[in-house]
Structure 1
Amino acid sequence: MANEAQPCPCDIGHRMEYGGMGHEVQVEHIKAYLTKPPMDTGKAVIVIQDIFGWQLPNTRYIADMIAGNGYTTILPDFFVGQEPWSPSGDWSIFPEWVKSRNARKINKEVEAVLQYLKRHCGAQRIGVVGFCWGGIAVHHIMTTYPEVKAGVCVYGVVKDFGDIYSLKNPTLFIFAENDSAIPLEHVSQLTQKLKEHCKVEYQIKTFSGQTHGFVHRKREDCSPEDKPYIEEARRNLIEWLNKYL
């Protein structure tokens, strides 16, 4: 695990200068970032933020990438107005901060977003993608909502999944080999639990030499060594959605 001085490995990474292709909307009590695909396909994807919140340009970039592949994409503020974590924050208070933002107690927000996508965006099939904190949320959603037809959990902290592994629909899990918050032992335990309890398709991929945040918080040009892994993980994410949505 991360050291006591910084109990989470979620450094901001490479903050993108990115304005976004979508626009902000109000979904009941939640603000959200919405991007439409070039052509309506009747398919939608919920993107769930990491600890740096729904306005992080990097996450909006991924939402737009997904939309460009044919999905109405919505990135809601699952902190519901509470402040996201600041890169300059005092890490000694992080454990208490994250406790106040429980990624497994988001049903009210999930249900509001699902209804919005169906009623206002014509969504007939819906998937979900989440990063870090949002990865935990994806696991919760995929074990709770059968109407969410595909999930991609990107470095969701396994120890916070709860002891529930009966996924309702196909889910892809993406991990980094050198993730101090998610040791490979935890990935192995997840693999065993899913093997015992899961009756739907799933896949677990661990990317060699990568660290927490590599899929959405590293620039493609950050290093020649990292670029192929970033591109492969993003391609796998889209391929999973294409296959099951």
Structure 2
Amino acid sequence: MSDCCVKGFQWDGTPEGKETKLAGLNTYVTGSNDQVALLLIHDLFGWTFTNVRVLADQYAREINATVYVPDFFGGEVIAPEIVRDFARLRQLDMPGFLARNSKLTREGEIVACAKAIRATYTKVGAIGFCFGGWAVFRLGAKSHEPPLVDCISTAHPSMLENDEIENVGVPVQILAPEVDPMFSPALKEACNRVIPAKGLPYDYQFFPSVEHGFGIRGNPGDIVEREAMVRAIGAAVSWFKYWLHVK
């Protein structure tokens, strides 16, 4: 992980949902559809970050889904004001944070949440930002039978590995910024080569002139970033409306 995973902007807005429990984890939930659900896997700022909750609210309204945002960091929270404080960013113990929240540590919780949602809802999607990117690929793995989710989407995924790309077995959407040290050209090429070869429905959206993090921490005051964020939200909404309502 690099500084791009924690720098950006905090958005204005008042979350509309409530806090509850899902598979034993503290969880933000918003929306009221009792048939269609979306699991949103947060970035490094975690489940309390205003941006992620405001975005979950928008997904709930526009997709017509109940959206769950569980805490996958065991109660640990990076203070949101750090997002624009570069001195404090450099002081973060990122290796320690990632060691405490490794794939091995958190995958079981993520799968448990998906199973809990699947047990209640007819249609289930998953979207992951940054840290959540690798996780949605694992939720969509072909080894899950029956599938835990019906489709996945990710914006600027981090920690994604080639075997996770190889093993995916559900429709995939990727929202890929031009500048992204975490989602390298090699990983982009692997996705664009491997996923279509599997015969899976695939929507690769390229966002020129923006960087890693734009989808969850972009600058609303910058016209290029704002347009990219609006387009990314619209793309995800269209993707999930099709796979969770039409199909």
Query: Shorter chain as normaliser: what TM range?
Result: 0.7 to 0.9
1:32·1:75 contact (CA, 8 Å) conserved in 2?
Answer: yes
Separation in 1 of the partners of 2:111 and 2:226? 36
Structure with bigger helix share is 2
In structure 1, what is the equivalent of residue 16 of structure 2? 21
Do structure 1's residue 64 and structure 2's residue 57 form an aligned pair? yes
Counterpart residue number, 1:74: 68
Gaps of 5+ in 1: none
Count residues in correspondence.
233
Structure 2: gaps of 5 or more residues: 83-87
Q: Deviations over 1:49-93 (max 9, x none)?
A: 101111000011111011102000000001122344773254573
1:41-56 map, 5 Å? 42-56=35-49
Q: Deviations over 1:206-239 (max 9, x none)?
A: 21001111112124x4222232222111100011
- Of residues 162-171 and 200-209 in structure 1, the stretch that sits farther from structure 2 once superposed is 162-171
1:240 alignment counterpart: 239
Q: How much has 1:204 moved relative to structure 2?
A: 1.8
Question: Quick check: 2:210–2:224 contact (8 Å CA) kept in 1?
Answer: no
- Distance, in Å, in 2 between the alignment partners of 1:193 and 1:104 is 25
Return the letter of the residue paired with 2:56.
A
- Cα contact 1:166–1:199 (8 A) shared by 2: no
Name the structure 2 match of 1:137: 135
Quick one: distance in 1 between partners of 2:104 and 2:193?
Answer: 22
Shift of 1:141: 1.0
Give matches, 1:56-135, under 5 Å.
56-69=49-62, 70-84=64-78, 87=82, 88-90=88-90, 93-103=93-103, 105-117=105-117, 122-135=120-133
Q: CA RMSD in A?
A: 2.4
**Cα-to-partner distance string for 1:88-132 (whole Å, 9 max, x where unaligned):** 25457313421321246544323432354356xx42111001100
Change (3 A) 1:14 1:116: same
Q: Report the equivalent of 2:200.
A: 200
Q: Which runs of 4+ in 1 moved over 4 A?
A: 89-92
| Distance change in 2, residues 1:168/1:72 (3 Å) | same
Give the 3 Å change call, closer, same or farther, for CA 85–166 of structure 1 in structure 2: farther
* Aligned-partner residue type, residue 18 of structure 2: H
Moved more, 62-71 or 174-183: 174-183
- Work out whether 1:10 is the aligned partner of 2:11: no
Bigger mean CA deviation after superposition, 132-141 or 109-118: 109-118
Cα deviation digits, residues 5-30 of structure 1 (max 9, x gap)? xx331234221233300000022421
